[in-house]
C-alpha cells in the first residue's frame, strides 16, 4: 500500500510540474527573451520578445541561406516549440514512452544549440529566455522520473 501511495504522489508531482512548466513556458513568450550585445559607442541594442524570436526562427526554416551559415542554430531553436507541442500531444498516449524520450532528447540538444548561437552571434539571454528554458525543463523533467513499461 505504501508503494501505491508513493507512486500516486510521484504522478501528482509530475503532473503539477508539467502544468507549472507549461504556464511558465507560455508566459515567456510575452517577455523580453534576448538582446543584441551592446557595443561601446554604438546604438542601443535591439531587444526581442520571446514570441518574435519564436516566429523569426521558425520562419527562417525555409531560407536556404540560413542553413549554410551559423544561423542554422537559430532554426534549430525555432523547432523547439513545435517539438514540445508534439511531446505534449504524445503524453496522451502512455505507451509511446520511447518516442517521447527521443523528442525530449532532441529538445535538450536544440536548447544547447541555442546557447552556442548566443556565443557566436553574440546575443544576451534575458528573463523570457530563462523562463522559456525553465518551463521546458519542468515539462520534460517528468520523463526523467518515469521508467518505460517492462523495465
3-state secondary structure of 94: coil
Domain of 30 in residue numbering reads as 2-145
Q: Write down the pTM of the prediction.
A: 0.86
Mind listing the pLDDT tens digit for each residue in 15-72?
Answer: 999 999 999 999 999 999 999 987 787 788 899 999 999 999 989 888 888 888 989 9
Total domains present in the chain: 1
In terms of residues, how long is the chain? 151
C-alpha distances out from residue 96 to 60, 86, 118, Å: 31, 12, 34
Q: Grid coordinates representing 25?
A: 513556458
Position 69 in a domain: yes
Position 62 in a domain: yes
Amino acid at each position: 500500500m505504501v508503494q501505491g501511495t508513493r507512486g500516486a504522489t510521484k504522478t501528482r508531482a509530475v503532473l503539477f510540474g508539467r502544468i507549472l512548466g507549461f504556464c511558465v513556458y507560455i508566459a515567456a513568450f510575452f517577455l523580453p527573451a534576448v538582446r543584441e550585445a551592446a557595443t561601446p559607442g554604438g546604438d542601443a541594442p535591439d531587444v526581442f520578445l520571446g514570441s518574435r524570436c519564436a516566429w523569426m526562427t521558425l520562419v527562417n526554416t525555409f531560407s536556404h541561406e540560413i542553413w549554410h551559415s551559423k544561423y542554422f542554430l537559430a532554426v534549430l531553436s525555432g523547432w523547439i516549440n513545435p517539438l514540445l507541442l508534439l511531446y505534449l500531444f504524445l503524453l496522451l498516449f502512455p505507451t509511446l514512452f520511447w518516442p517521447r524520450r527521443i523528442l525530449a532528447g532532441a529538445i535538450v540538444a536544440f536548447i544547447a544549440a541555442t546557447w552556442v548561437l548566443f556565443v557566436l552571434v553574440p546575443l544576451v539571454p534575458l528573463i523570457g529566455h530563462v523562463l522559456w528554458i525553465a518551463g521546458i525543463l519542468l515539462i520534460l523533467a517528468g520523463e526523467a522520473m518515469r521508467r518505460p513499461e517492462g523495465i
